[in-house]
């Protein structure tokens, strides 16, 4: 990378936005987005990926455009890629993990998430195609936010009962016949305008037909997007899962497992041999485990803590964090209550919505923590038996 670009990166702002790499001829060769422009662009100074190395060697200049939030950055990135067709972005488009959001040109249409290999069949028929996006989960959470502003319908027209999404404010009322096909078409056109970067058209629609939704457009809460943003954009989704195990109240052990950007990082798992808690006192064991873990602030901090348990277990973890002046959201899964999710006090509504969507992921983390803890307890039990022989 050229020295002048390295110097420019030092001046990049700590805000969301879109960035552009250009070659000597001034042609855009790559467009990207970021939760934090400065942090993201730093990754290009010494890239390890061969494709990125080649791009930065070819690049001659760098610029960026700041946005209010990540949602706006995603929309701008997609539309700029469509407009300029940068060489290194086009090379990525056949990535099988990529997805598109498609709105078919039919009556009562609504956005669908389509895999990259299937998008070609929508090119005929004037369907609106937005993307690509790097993952299904990113697209799903993207639509979750959009649907709060433009509540499209996926239900049948004028059915007997309101659909689930209508009951939570994410459906226009097609299920109850509360919107005509003509007015629904206007809603979809406004949604398409918004995704096309024509924000003023979307605003005009909301002012006229749904003024209560206008503040949502002006103050977008993109927490679900940030949480699922791929790590190459310099955001790491790290969840630590905790569990304890004992044998008849004895040999109590605890463990933490790490789930980061969709994968378990087994090299960062930790084991805790409980030393001070009394036998059968699970809460004291949890307290000791969490205290010992957060005595190690040199370890990376998680975005969330998941504990196998209900309200009392969640509160125990929160109390320890409060004592240490650490603010990390805590979630519990109460296995004796049909795996009900229990939220700590400091979790925002938007994050609760996202966690509900990702319920299977949380179960997977809880189960892995349970497996790892039991394996450790059995290992200790085996060692004790061997020592007594």
pLDDT tens-digit series, residues 262-306: 778 898 999 999 998 888 899 999 999 999 999 887 788 888 899
Average the pLDDT over 51-71 and give the result: 92
Going from the C-alpha of 264 to that of each of 21, 328, 374, the distances in angstroms are: 33, 20, 17
Tokens of 166: 């209508």
pLDDT tens-digit series, residues 217-275: 877 766 556 655 654 433 346 889 999 998 776 779 999 999 876 778 898 999 999 99
Q: Return the higher-pLDDT residue of 59 and 160.
A: 59
Does the pTM surpass 0.85? The reply is no
Residue whose C-alpha is closest to residue 331's, from 355, 354, 295: 355
pLDDT tens-digit series, residues 89-135: 876 655 566 889 999 988 999 999 998 888 888 877 789 999 888 77
pLDDT band at 355 (very low <50, low <70, confident <90, very high): low
- Residue showing tokens 């899964």: 333
Mean pLDDT, rounded, of the chain = 85
- Residue showing tokens 């949502």: 216
pLDDT number for residue 359? 74
Where do the domains of the chain lie, and which CATH numbers do they carry?
3-69+77-85 (3.40.1440.10), 99-225 (no CATH), 236-388 (3.30.420.340)
pLDDT band at 173 (very low <50, low <70, confident <90, very high): very high
Beta strands in the chain (DSSP E): 17-22, 28-34, 61-66, 99-103, 112-115, 128-133, 238-247, 250-260, 263-264, 270-273, 304-308, 330-334, 340-343
């Amino acid at each position: 990378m050229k020295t002048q670009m390295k110097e420019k990166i030092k001046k990049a702002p700590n805000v969301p936005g879109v960035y552009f790499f250009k070659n000597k001829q001034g042609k855009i060769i790559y467009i990207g987005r970021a939760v934090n422009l400065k942090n993201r662009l730093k990754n290009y100074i010494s890239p390890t990926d061969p494709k990125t190395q080649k791009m930065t060697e070819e690049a001659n200049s760098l610029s960026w455009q700041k946005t209010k939030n990540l949602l706006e950055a995603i929309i701008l990135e997609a539309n700029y890629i469509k407009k300029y067709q940068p060489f290194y972005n086009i090379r990525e488009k056949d990535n099988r993990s990529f997805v598109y959001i498609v709105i078919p040109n039919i009556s009562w249409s609504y956005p669908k998430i389509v895999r990259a290999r299937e998008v070609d069949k929508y090119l005929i028929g004037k369907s609106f195609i937005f993307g690509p996006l790097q993952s299904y989960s990113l697209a799903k959470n993207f639509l979750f936010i959009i649907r709060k502003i433009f509540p499209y319908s996926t239900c049948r027209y004028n059915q007997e009962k309101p659909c689930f999404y209508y009951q939570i404010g994410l459906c226009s009322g097609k299920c109850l016949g509360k919107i005509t096909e003509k007015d629904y078409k206007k809603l979809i056109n406004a949604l398409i305008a918004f995704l096309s970067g024509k924000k003023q058209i979307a605003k005009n629609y909301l002012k006229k037909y749904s003024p209560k939704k206008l503040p949502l457009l002006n103050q977008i809460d993109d927490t679900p997007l940030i949480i699922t943003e791929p790590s190459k954009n310099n955001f790491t989704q790290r969840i630590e899962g905790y569990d304890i195990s004992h044998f008849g109240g004895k040999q109590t052990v605890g463990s933490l497992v790490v789930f980061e950007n969709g994968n378990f990082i087994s090299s960062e798992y930790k084991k805790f041999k409980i030393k001070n808690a009394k036998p059968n006192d699970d809460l004291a064991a949890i307290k000791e485990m969490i205290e010992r873990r957060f005595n190690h602030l040199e370890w990376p901090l998680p975005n969330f803590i998941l504990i196998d348990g209900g309200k009392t277990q969640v509160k125990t973890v929160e109390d320890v964090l409060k004592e240490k002046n650490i603010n990390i959201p805590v979630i519990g899964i109460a296995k004796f209550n049909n795996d009900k999710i229990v939220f700590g006090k400091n979790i925002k509504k938007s994050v609760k919505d996202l966690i509900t969507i990702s319920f299977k992921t949380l179960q997977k983390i809880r189960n892995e923590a349970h497996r790892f803890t039991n394996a450790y307890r059995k290992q200790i039990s085996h060692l004790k038996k061997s020592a007594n022989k």
